[in-house]
Chains A and B, each alone.
Chain A
């Protein structure tokens, strides 16, 4: 047997008959194949997740684009359409805070040319009113945590740390 014969032997034949009769079944698939398969599946699931993420973000982008084209008074009470700079800012914020498995928020234009972004699921109520770039109101409540007080905050810069906890909960918590 050549020096690497043993390796070759293990890899090529899951059930080497030349060793004679045996009462045991074929050996399970070699560990190395399972390892390859694992990575193959892992990569394809990551690719699927990335594709999904890109598609979801594209859907949001199309929606927000549509809001910028609404006529003045679209809500029947004189509201202006979503401002273009606010749309761009909102998309960049969502891109930063949302993770691949974060549920999509419900979005709608606001009465002042801004954007309402709301999640109401998994016990979380998270509302973000993007009034204009770097001018946002945040409201967050967690009904499954009796000790947690509702959080109301104003974001006037690019620091969205206040959204980290609710987004993590929305992403990781079961329905």
Chain B
């Protein structure tokens, strides 16, 4: 596992987290749907994500992250946002449970309040309908 907290995964890199439909909550305070805080709380404070630039380097796009999970959404936050909250961003390619995933990355150390901040600030690069938005 290569520790890419030194900048190998740049701060502006998008980190993609799959979101099960049950984990999308209508946040009436924000006036929009967002991932539940729990969607950003991994086991042992380790959150699995896919690093977008590494996907692109391998000729893959966002649909690769949803290859086996067509009804899921994708939430994106920036590596720099995670680091700014003191989290480590560690490239962890092809782990045992995803041997075909060269972009697999771990975000380590998220507490509940950090998870909530990420859940409130993240974007939806793949809409809830499962459609990737049109690019300009």
Contacts and interface: CB of A to CB of B under 8 A. Distances in A.
B68 A76 contact: yes
B12 interface: no
Contact of A120 (B23, B25, B38, B97): B25
Given A76-B18, A106-B36, A108-B23, A120 B30 contact: yes
B5 interface: no
A81 B135 CA distance: 37
Interface string B68-97: 110010000000000000000000000001
B37 interface: yes
Contact of B43 (A76, A112, A116): A112
Nearest to A73: B97
Given A76-B68, A108-B36, A108-B38, A121 B28 contact: yes
Contacts of B22: 67, 108-109
B102 interface: no
Given A121-B29, A152-B112, A116 B20 contact: no
Interface residues of A, number: 28
B3 interface: no
Contacts of B68: 76
A111 B41 contact: yes
B38 A106 contact: no
A152 to B, nearest CB: 7
A110 interface: yes
Given A78-B97, A127-B112, A152-B113, A120 B27 contact: yes
A143 interface: yes
Contacts of B48: 77
Contacts of B30: 120
Interface of B: 18, 20, 22-23, 25-30, 36-38, 41-43, 48, 68-69, 72, 97, 112-113, 116
5 contacts: A67-B22, A109-B22, A112-B43, A124-B29, A125-B116
